[in-house]
Amino acid sequence: MMLPTVAADPAAQRVFGLDAARALAIALVVVVHCTVQFGLDTFFMPIAGTAGYFGVELFFVLSGFLIGGLLLDIVEQGPSVGAWARFMARRWLRTLPIYLLWTLLMLRFWPPPGKAGWHIVHYLSFTQNLIRPMPSDNWFGVSWSLAVEEWFYLLFSGALLIFASFRRRGALWIACGLFIAAPLAARLAMPTGDSAYWGEHMRKVVGLRLDAIAYGVVAAALWRRMPLALTLWKGPLLALGCALLAAVGVVAQDGPAPWAQAPIFSATSAGFALCLPAAMAMQPPRHRLAAAVRWLSERSYALYIVHLSLIEIGVFHAVRLGMPRNALLPGALIASLAVAELSFRCIERPILRRRPRQFPEPLLAPASALAS
């Protein structure tokens, strides 16, 4: 059986199932934000909160899965400060340019109400929701999840380097265990509240959410160790993952009950992680759908960053002009896709081509698709 492997150069080979998962995640987030912000009466309205929640959580697990193979390579080849520095440099060159550019553009043309200096300092350092909720104005609202990712890259890779310097074997499992157990324990120690409290004080605080990405790293490590077994069992694992996610969807509808507010994140991440072997085994369809999925996946990061701000701007101007709230929906979507395309062609792809290699020679590393 031919198992999916991915070259260290992300342009060399892609896994269609991971592209499809990323495309699904960004589609859920964008459709839900359009539904809520423009007041659309669509299928998503009754489940908008849950669908948007699933989209972001899928992004988290994918992020961990995509860097997991690379972290394993670093540990197996011999961890060093230089390897860690290259890893972080590659991560920052992938994620920071468009984020920093969009933040500066927003500060110039769509500034937050008051306290602009506070926003500049905290948003540019990813500390807007490090240990406290996002600011009450919710300016640049999607940035909460980007802060979770950036702090995970920094803290997890640093902890892994320290653990591996003492004991290379098992270092990744120790780091994953720590990053899964500590946030869950912190959430369990938090007071519970209504859905608004859960969404702002627990869901969107960096220190309480680092485990979401760690589940993806665990999935990558298991895929590296036993790809054949996971491929053979992909059907039952997919069924189990979907069942777990369905249960989460029922519990999370209209906000989870107090008893579920802390562990529901763990159940969601585990559910998506169980689905990843099936995604790795997916074969691309023999028609244009595969190209469309890849196109959306490649532009998903920039689209995620810019779409909500452009939707909010569209709603603001529609109301100001006395138009229906959804009058500028097509324009906001077109603008979001256009900015994402421009970012991919003019910023992201040129930078990705010039990033330093993590290793002198390309490695074949399962599950490190698009992550190196």
Q: Which of 8-22, 139-153, 162-176 has the highest mean pLDDT?
A: 139-153
For the segment 249-291, what is each residue's pLDDT rounded down to a tens digit?
Answer: 999 887 888 999 999 999 999 999 999 999 999 999 888 899 9
pLDDT surpasses 70 at 365: no
Burial of 199 (0-12, 13-18, 19+ CB in 10 A): middle
Pull the structure tokens for residue 27: 């589609």
- To the nearest whole percent, how much of the chain has pLDDT over 70? 91
Place of tokens 């562990």: 263
Q: What is the reported pTM?
A: 0.92
262 touches 35 (CB < 8 A): no
Beta bridge partners of 7: 364
| Measured CA angle at 88 (ends 87, 91), to 5 deg | 90
CA distances 52 to 43, 96, 235, 325, Å, are 13, 23, 26, 20
For the segment 73-130, what is each residue's pLDDT rounded down to a tens digit?
Answer: 999 888 899 999 999 999 999 999 999 999 999 999 999 987 788 999 999 999 999 9
Distance, CA of 54 to CA of 1 (rounded, Å): 32
Per-residue model confidence (pLDDT) at position 9 = 35
Per-residue model confidence (pLDDT) at position 178 = 98
| Measured CA angle at 19 (ends 14, 25), to 5 deg | 160
Helix, strand or coil for residue 130? coil
Asked if residue 242 is part of any domain, the answer here is yes
238 touches 274 (CB < 8 A): yes
Asked if residue 32 is part of any domain, the answer here is yes
Distance, CA of 321 to CA of 319 (rounded, Å): 5
303 touches 34 (CB < 8 A): no
Per-residue model confidence (pLDDT) at position 229 = 96
User: Structural domain tally of the chain?
Assistant: 1
Per-residue model confidence (pLDDT) at position 298 = 96
Residue 344 DSSP one-character state: I
Helix, strand or coil for residue 300? helix
Q: Name the residue with higher pLDDT: 46 or 219.
A: 219
Pull the structure tokens for residue 335: 């603008």
Report, as an integer, the average pLDDT of 297-322.
96
315 touches 271 (CB < 8 A): no
Per-residue model confidence (pLDDT) at position 77 = 87
Asked if residue 77 is part of any domain, the answer here is yes
Asked if residue 362 is part of any domain, the answer here is no
CA distances 354 to 1, 54, 242, 350, Å, are 35, 33, 39, 7
Asked if residue 6 is part of any domain, the answer here is no
Per-residue model confidence (pLDDT) at position 337 = 97
Asked if residue 371 is part of any domain, the answer here is no
Asked if residue 170 is part of any domain, the answer here is yes
Distance, CA of 55 to CA of 40 (rounded, Å): 19
300 touches 142 (CB < 8 A): no
Comparing C-alpha atoms, which of 209, 313, 217 is closest to residue 272? 217
Residue 206 DSSP one-character state: G
Domain range enclosing 79: 16-354
Helix, strand or coil for residue 364? strand
Per-residue model confidence (pLDDT) at position 359 = 83
Distance, CA of 40 to CA of 191 (rounded, Å): 34
Distance, CA of 317 to CA of 299 (rounded, Å): 26
Report, as an integer, the average pLDDT of 46-50.
71
Beta bridge partners of 364: 7
Q: Which long-range contacts (CB under 8 A, 24 or more apart) does 193-201 make?
A: 193/258, 193/261, 194/255, 195/49, 195/254, 195/255, 195/256, 196/255, 198/255, 198/256, 198/261, 199/49, 199/255, 200/133, 200/134, 201/133
Distance, CA of 212 to CA of 148 (rounded, Å): 9
Per-residue model confidence (pLDDT) at position 45 = 62
Confidence category of residue 364, pLDDT binned at 50, 70, 90: very low
pLDDT surpasses 90 at 361: no
For the segment 9-42, what is each residue's pLDDT rounded down to a tens digit?
Answer: 343 368 999 999 999 999 999 999 988 888 776 6
pLDDT surpasses 70 at 341: yes
Asked if residue 370 is part of any domain, the answer here is no
For the segment 35-46, what is each residue's pLDDT rounded down to a tens digit?
Answer: 888 877 666 566
Per-residue model confidence (pLDDT) at position 279 = 97
For the segment 234-254, what is each residue's pLDDT rounded down to a tens digit?
Answer: 999 999 999 999 999 999 887
